[in-house]
A and B are shown apart, each in its own frame.
Chain A
Amino acid sequence: MKSIVVKDLAKRYSNGTEAVKGISFELEKGEIFGMVGPNGAGKTTTIKMITTLTTITSGDAFVSGIDVKKHPEKVRRIIGMVPQDLSVDDDLHGFENLVLSGKLYGMDTKLAVKKANMLLDFFDLTEFKDKDVGSYSGGMKKRLDLASGLMHEPEVLFLDEPTLGLDTQTRSKIWDYVKRLNKELNMTILVTTHYLEEADMLCNRIAIVDFGKIVALDKPSALKEGIGNSVMMVKVKNDLEKTKKLIENIDGVGEITMYKEDLKVTLKRMEVAPAILETMYSNKITLERLSIKEPSLDDVFIHYTGAALRDREEKTDSMAMRRTMRRMRQ
Chain B
Amino acid sequence: MKTAFFALLVREMKKWYRTPVFFIVSMAQPIIWVVLFGSAFDITRLFGNLPPQAIAAIMNTEFMGAKNYISFLSGGIMTVTILFASMVSGMSLIWDRRFGYLAKLMVSPIRRETVFMTKVFSSIIKGIVQASIIFVVVIIMPSGLILGSGFGIVDLLTIYFVLFLCALIFSSLFVMIAVRTTKWETAMGIANFLNLPLMFASTALFPSSAMPGWLKFIAVRNPISYAANTLRILTIKGSLSGALINTVMLNIAYLSAYAVIALVAGFIISYFTLTDTSYS
Contact = CB atoms under 8 A, between A and B. Distances in A.
Interface of A: 13-14, 48, 51-55, 73, 76-77, 79, 81, 83, 85-92, 96, 99-101, 103-108, 148, 327, 330
Contacts of B103: 53, 81, 83, 85, 87
B3 A103 contact: yes
Interface in B38-67: none
Contacts of B101: 87-89
A86 B278 contact: no
B86 to A, nearest CB: 20
B129 interface: no
Contacts of B276: 53-55
Given A76-B109, A91-B18, A104-B105, 5 more contacts: A87-B101, A87-B103, A101-B104, A103-B7, A327-B99
Nearest to A44: B280
Contacts of B106: 53
Given A92-B15, A106-B3, A73 B100 contact: no
Contact of A106 (B4, B8, B18, B100): B4
Contacts of A104: 4, 7-8, 104-105, 108-110
A96 B14 contact: yes
Contacts of A105: 108-109
B241 interface: no
B11 A90 contact: no
B277 interface: yes
A73 B104 contact: no
Interface string B107-135: 11110000000000000000000000000
Contact of A92 (B1, B14, B110, B275): B14
20 contacts: A14-B278, A48-B277, A52-B107, A54-B277, A54-B278, A81-B107, A83-B100, A88-B101, A89-B15, A89-B101, A99-B7, A101-B108, A104-B104, A104-B108, A104-B109, A104-B110, A105-B108, A105-B109, A106-B4, A330-B99
Contact of B107 (A13, A55, A79, A108): A79
Contacts of A99: 7
Contact of B3 (A13, A53, A108, A330): A108
Nearest to A14: B278
A91 B71 CA distance: 39
A13 B279 CA distance: 11
Nearest to B114: A104
B190 to A, nearest CB: 21
Contacts of A14: 278
Contacts of A81: 103, 107
Contacts of A330: 99
